[in-house]
Amino acid sequence: MLKDTPHDDQDTPVVVPTLDVTTLGGFEGKDAEQMLAAAQEADRVDHELTIRQALRKYKVAVFWAMLLSCALIMEGYDVVVIGSFYGQPQFIERFGSVGSDGVMAIQAKWQTSLSNASVCGQLIGLAINGLCQDRFGCRPTYIVGMIWMACVIFIPVFSTSIGMLIAGEVLCGTAWGIFQTLSTAYACEVVPTCLRPLVTGWVCMCWGAGIVLSSGVVRAVINVQGDLGWRLPFMLQWVWPVPLAIAAFLAPESPWNAVRRGNYDQARKSLMRLRASDDKGETSVNNIMAYMNASEEPTEGGQKSRPSSRLAQNCVVWAAQILCGNAILGYAVVFLQKAGFGVTASFNLNLITNCQYIVGGVACWFLMAKYGRATLYMAGMAGMLVCLIITGGLGCVNSNSASTGVGALLVIQTLINMTTIGPVCYPIVAETPSGRLRAKTITIGRIVYNITGIVTNSITPRMISTTSWNWGAKSAFFYAGTNFLCLVWCWFRLPETKDRTFGEIDLLFENRVPARKFRGTVVDQFAHGATVAHPAVTPDLEDKKEIIEHKEFI
């Protein structure tokens, strides 16, 4: 809270921090001014770190963030495996039926059920993760999820009916739901500010790597006869759980998570492990501890900085990943076949298309460093919008050249998506929540994402299927409309968080800074001692920027 204290110059308001910083973990007995100075020094060092310096200083943290993020490979793998099976002859022979057109196929209702099965399981997993991560920590939650995954893979591998396969997908989805947001939260909390877009972008690349891997596997088994053609891709999911569970057992806990749970000794040990061997100074660790405690402390009014607004932003950003047109890309094989491509050609082009997840992810690292999050996110949506409109137009033309054009646009849309919207989503959803609500906010946002996926998984097969609505490539017009609505929302409501620490982001939200002014607002996060005066706003800055001084210590 702001408190004006008596002062000789009544024209200069004085701010007194009201936080009892003497209770900060690891700093008992020191006075408030020392605590403020320690937190401020940690903030200064974080801001001055270059990417090169941070990679050298926090190479251990980057290693663990990237290794544990590999859990998302499993989820991305299954997303495309199931969608690709709808066009695989062996899978159709085992679970398909003859439609009204006399062609053997997986009925649209079963496509919907299979696609939604894992999503429903993910909703359960997300709820479990939201509760367990804040209570037990990231590592124990991760390990249990991996053990569960290793057990339930047996069900889809040995399914004898489509109902059994659906049940297996639900149970596997529970594990994927745990990893979806846990990996993002862990990655962003173990590295300094300048490395957050790199490690959270890597999270998305792991998801894309799973898609590429599954596309290659499905293409490789296309000539394998019998049930092994679809069972083998499921079996390969056993490669991941045990090694990753061991990795999680050996990894350090997220220090931010440990502080939220009041486990200061664990937080301190994690900070020591996450830094380079030549940079484990006690003073540096103490400063970071002071900063984390200050940033995680709630204000007098409870949770700080407009959590409902930040939750809404998180939810829309997650949902827009699908509504931007990504829902069509998830049915690439079937979509290409309906557009006129043969079975082998559609699987080949699908594999080429999915390779863009890796290429685009690497390119996004450099683009985010230059342009930031919100700008790149909206640019990607605008690019997808143009492609969707053209794709829909080609769907109105019945010719081989139009079908080829649709295939080319799918490749372009995937590249745009994975250069912008896909990887940029992860740092946005990791940075916009408040610290104490980060895990729960990301979880709720991902639940909205999954619910959106259930809806699109229900209607997209019907749009494309010749036995249902039979829209074909014209389905792109529908997603052009949803893309435009999300783009308009992002223009007015999506803030730019590039180069902002968690504390600065809290302060910007707390002061209700409009989203379009986040980038140009100067934040003085920490007071320089027990009492400080507001800095003057110079005339030249008044026209260009707003200055916010930290009105409290946190």
Weakest mean pLDDT among 25-39, 268-282, 485-499: 25-39
What does the alpha-carbon distance between residue 485 and residue 316 come to, in Å, rounded to a whole number? 11
Which pLDDT band, with edges at 50, 70 and 90, does 541 fall under? very low
In terms of Cα–Cα distance, which of 227, 230, 78 is closest to 149?
Answer: 78
In terms of Cα–Cα distance, which of 397, 20, 381, 422 is closest to 184?
Answer: 422
Q: Mean per-residue pLDDT for 142-148?
A: 94
Residue 548 has pLDDT above 80, yes or no: no
Residue 67 has pLDDT above 90, yes or no: yes
Residue 305 has pLDDT above 70, yes or no: no
In terms of Cα–Cα distance, which of 310, 307, 326, 308 is closest to 486?
Answer: 326
Weakest mean pLDDT among 215-219, 224-228, 334-338, 374-378: 334-338
Per residue in 393-407, pLDDT (tens digit) is 988 887 777 777 887
In terms of Cα–Cα distance, which of 99, 230, 127 is closest to 169?
Answer: 230
What does the alpha-carbon distance between residue 471 and residue 553 come to, in Å, rounded to a whole number? 57
Q: Mean per-residue pLDDT for 286-294?
A: 84
What does the alpha-carbon distance between residue 174 and residue 182 come to, in Å, rounded to a whole number? 13
Looking at residue 98, what is its pLDDT? 75
Which pLDDT band, with edges at 50, 70 and 90, does 100 fall under? low
Looking at residue 151, what is its pLDDT? 94
Q: Which CATH number fits domain 58-251+303-493: 2.130.10.10, 1.20.1250.20, 1.10.3720.10, 3.30.530.20?
A: 1.20.1250.20
Looking at residue 389, what is its pLDDT? 95
Looking at residue 540, what is its pLDDT? 39
Residue pair 458/112 in contact by the 8 Å Cβ criterion: yes
Pairing of strands 532-533, 14-15: antiparallel
Weakest mean pLDDT among 227-231, 507-511, 532-536: 532-536
Residue pair 189/255 in contact by the 8 Å Cβ criterion: yes
Integer distance in angstroms from the first to the last C-alpha of the chain?
10
Residue 253 has pLDDT above 80, yes or no: yes
Per residue in 101-137, pLDDT (tens digit) is 677 778 777 887 887 888 889 889 988 988 898 889 9
Measure the CA angle with vertex 321, ends 471 and 79; round to 5°.
75
Which pLDDT band, with edges at 50, 70 and 90, does 526 fall under? low
- DSSP bridge pairs for 302: 299
pTM as predicted: 0.74
Per residue in 457-472, pLDDT (tens digit) is 788 878 877 777 888 8
Q: Mean per-residue pLDDT for 49-58?
A: 90
Residue 348 has pLDDT above 90, yes or no: no
Which pLDDT band, with edges at 50, 70 and 90, does 201 fall under? confident
pLDDT higher at 221 or 492 = 492
Q: Mean per-residue pLDDT for 365-373?
A: 87
Strand ranges inside 114-254, DSSP E? none
Structure tokens at 371: 């342009």
- DSSP bridge pairs for 98: 104
Residue 426 has pLDDT above 50, yes or no: yes
What does the alpha-carbon distance between residue 103 and residue 465 come to, in Å, rounded to a whole number? 12
Which pLDDT band, with edges at 50, 70 and 90, does 553 fall under? very low
In the chain, what percentage of residues exceed pLDDT 90? 25
- DSSP bridge pairs for 524: 549
Collapse the DSSP code of 451 into the 3-class scheme (helix H, G, I; strand E, B; otherwise coil) and give the result.
helix
| AA identity, residue 372 | G
What does the alpha-carbon distance between residue 470 and residue 464 come to, in Å, rounded to a whole number? 5
What does the alpha-carbon distance between residue 158 and residue 155 come to, in Å, rounded to a whole number? 6
Looking at residue 8, what is its pLDDT? 37
Looking at residue 222, what is its pLDDT? 79
Positive/negative CA dihedral, 323, 329, 330, 332? positive
Measure the CA angle with vertex 170, ends 167 and 173; round to 5°.
150
Which pLDDT band, with edges at 50, 70 and 90, does 515 fall under? confident
For tokens 């450099």, name the residue.
366
Which pLDDT band, with edges at 50, 70 and 90, does 384 fall under? very high
Using a 10 angstrom Cβ sphere, with 0-12 exposed, 13-18 middle and 19 or more buried, the burial of residue 224 is middle
Looking at residue 23, what is its pLDDT? 45
What does the alpha-carbon distance between residue 45 and residue 58 come to, in Å, rounded to a whole number? 13
Mean of per-residue pLDDT scores for the chain:
79
Weakest mean pLDDT among 119-133, 343-357, 373-387: 343-357
Looking at residue 219, what is its pLDDT? 77
Using a 10 angstrom Cβ sphere, with 0-12 exposed, 13-18 middle and 19 or more buried, the burial of residue 462 is middle
Question: Rounded to the nearest 10 degrees, how much is the dihedral formed by the CA atoms of 442, 445, 446, 449?
Answer: -160
Looking at residue 364, what is its pLDDT? 87
What does the alpha-carbon distance between residue 79 and residue 227 come to, in Å, rounded to a whole number? 20
Residue 525 has pLDDT above 70, yes or no: no
Looking at residue 412, what is its pLDDT? 86
Looking at residue 11, what is its pLDDT? 34
Which pLDDT band, with edges at 50, 70 and 90, does 281 fall under? low
What does the alpha-carbon distance between residue 473 and residue 335 come to, in Å, rounded to a whole number? 7
What does the alpha-carbon distance between residue 92 and residue 114 come to, in Å, rounded to a whole number? 13
- 72-81, 166-175, 337-346: range with highest mean pLDDT: 166-175
DSSP classification of residue 531: S
Q: Mean per-residue pLDDT for 70-94?
A: 81
Per-residue DSSP letters for 100-151?
Answer: TTS-EE--HHHHHHHHHHHHHHHHHHHHHHHHHHHHH-HHHHHHHHHHHHHH
Looking at residue 528, what is its pLDDT? 43
Question: Which H/E stretch holds residue 276?
Answer: none
Looking at residue 336, what is its pLDDT? 66
